[in-house]
Amino acid sequence: MSKRAYNFNAGPAALPLEVLERAQAEFVNYGDTGMSIMEMSHRGAVYEAVHNEAQERLLSLLGNPSGYKVLFIQGGASTQFAMIPMNFLGQGQVANYVMTGSWAEKAIKEARLIGETHVAASSEASKYMALPELQDIKLSDHAAYLHLTSNETIEGTQFKEFPDTGSVPLICDMSSDILSRPFDLSQFAMVYAGAQKNLGPSGVAVVIVREDMITDSPKHLPSMLRYDTYLKNNSLYNTPPSFGIYMINEVLKWIQEKGGLEGVQELNRKKAALIYDAIDSSGGFYRGCVNAEVRSDMNITFRLGTEELEKEFVKASEQEGFVGLKGHRSVGGLRASVYNALPYESAQALVQFMQQFQNSRS
């Protein structure tokens, strides 16, 4: 295939073509070392420079707030669902969660295995078409932390601002919108994300954590499930997913070249607006799944009149070179994931296809 697909995959998702080409150019001989980055020791100076550079670049994109560290941990965001309560939920404390949809639910499920949890707010009654109002978040007594999911990848909702939790640490799963817009890291004790949407290939979760959170992981925890292991060893306690971290560093360079988080946000807003406008101006042929004020700029969920028509839409889209427009199997419908790396031209092509499809059926 000579042409790149219009790739609307939800994750693993499109990566910037420039990054793939750069990686390709140095794939078999990185920096004149005579080997790929994948073939060299993770204890060597060449790899370590990449590792450290990725951490520094990430913090620099976030304005270099003091006191934060970047950790690279395998096991995806799902392992973080477990590590958070394992490390931060102390005796007599309660883990607090905001329940916003499928991923928040998975996070809560893990916390319940570890200790006492409290749902501090929920939008379940709206079938997750809405998000809880920030002022309706009610923390329990002895709250160890409040966890929220900034962007629900499956339902297609996104918080536009975050609660002030005072002295209670705020922890955020940003798997599907990290680095898609500026945010004030100092509001958070920890943010984390599986890499495979906005950061790089799958196989690593990026954790940005306030150093003072990691003072005393419980003694009984195995080494690989303790944040202090990663902190003390600069995420080099064992062999890290070195190729993935190298790719993250390249993606971060690309974000810098695009004008940093403001730059990518502008592009993301344009892409999302184009597609939402197509939905809203279709006279009801396409219908957005969630309330307009909580729509995600990353995962655009919509439906057609019947499931039959949705199937036809997906089939016809695939024939035209579109990939990944089928909604998540748990909710059905359609979903266009428009992460940082999705080119504007792909969003334009989708809108054109949506209009053609509508014309052919009405």
Q: Cite the annotated binding site for L-glutamate by residue number.
A: 43
290 binds ligand PMP (CB under 6 A): no
Using the minimum distance from each CB to ligand PMP, give the nearer residue, 189 or 304.
Answer: 189
Residues at the binding site are 43, 77-78, 103, 153, 173, 196, 238-239
297 included as an active-site residue: no
Q: Which two tokens stand for residue 65?
A: 């707030």
Number of H helices, E strands in the chain: 9, 14
197 included as an active-site residue: yes
Distance of CA 13 to CAs 29, 120, 310, 335, 339, Å?
26, 32, 22, 13, 8
194 binds ligand PMP (CB under 6 A): yes
206: β partners: 72, 193
149 binds ligand PMP (CB under 6 A): yes
156 binds ligand PMP (CB under 6 A): no
Q: How far apart are alpha carbons 104 and 101 in whole angstroms? A: 6
74 binds ligand PMP (CB under 6 A): no
Q: How many CB atoms are closer than 10 A to CB 68?
A: 21
153 binds ligand PMP (CB under 6 A): yes
355 binds ligand PMP (CB under 6 A): no
The DSSP H or E segment spanning 317 is helix 307-319
324 binds ligand PMP (CB under 6 A): no
Using the minimum distance from each CB to ligand PMP, give the nearer residue, 103 or 246.
Answer: 103
Q: Under DSSP, is residue 173 helix (H, G, I), strand (E, B) or coil? A: strand
Shortest spacing between CB 171 and ligand PMP, in angstroms = 12
Q: Position 227: which residue type? A: Y
Instruction: Name the segment binding ligand PMP (CB under 6 A); options: 26-34, 46-54, 171-179, 181-189.
Output: 171-179
277 included as an active-site residue: no
Shortest spacing between CB 132 and ligand PMP, in angstroms = 16
Q: What DSSP string runs through 160-199? A: SS----TTSPEEEE-TTTTTSS---GGG-SEEEEETTTTT
Q: How far apart are alpha carbons 151 and 133 in whole angstroms? A: 15
Among 110, 173, 297, 310, binds ligand PMP (CB under 6 A): 173
76 binds ligand PMP (CB under 6 A): yes
176 binds ligand PMP (CB under 6 A): yes
Shortest spacing between CB 77 and ligand PMP, in angstroms = 3
Q: Which long-range contacts (CB under 8 A, 24 or more apart) does 115-120 make?
A: 115/85, 115/89, 116/89, 117/85, 118/94, 118/143, 120/96, 120/146
> Looking up tokens 């883990």, which residue turns up?
95
Shortest spacing between CB 78 and ligand PMP, in angstroms = 3
The DSSP H or E segment spanning 336 is strand 334-337
Q: How far apart are alpha carbons 362 and 358 in whole angstroms? A: 6
Site string for ligand PMP, 84-113 (x = CB under 6 A): -------------------x----------
75: β partners: none
Q: Of 3, 32, 69, 103, which residue is the catalytic one?
A: 103
Q: Of 197, 258, 271, 326, which residue is the catalytic one?
A: 197
Shortest spacing between CB 33 and ligand PMP, in angstroms = 30
Q: Under DSSP, is residue 205 helix (H, G, I), strand (E, B) or coil? A: strand
Using the minimum distance from each CB to ligand PMP, give the nearer residue, 132 or 278.
Answer: 132
Residues that bind ligand PMP (CB under 6 A): 11, 76-78, 103, 149, 153, 173, 175-176, 194
Q: What residues act catalytically?
A: 103, 173, 197
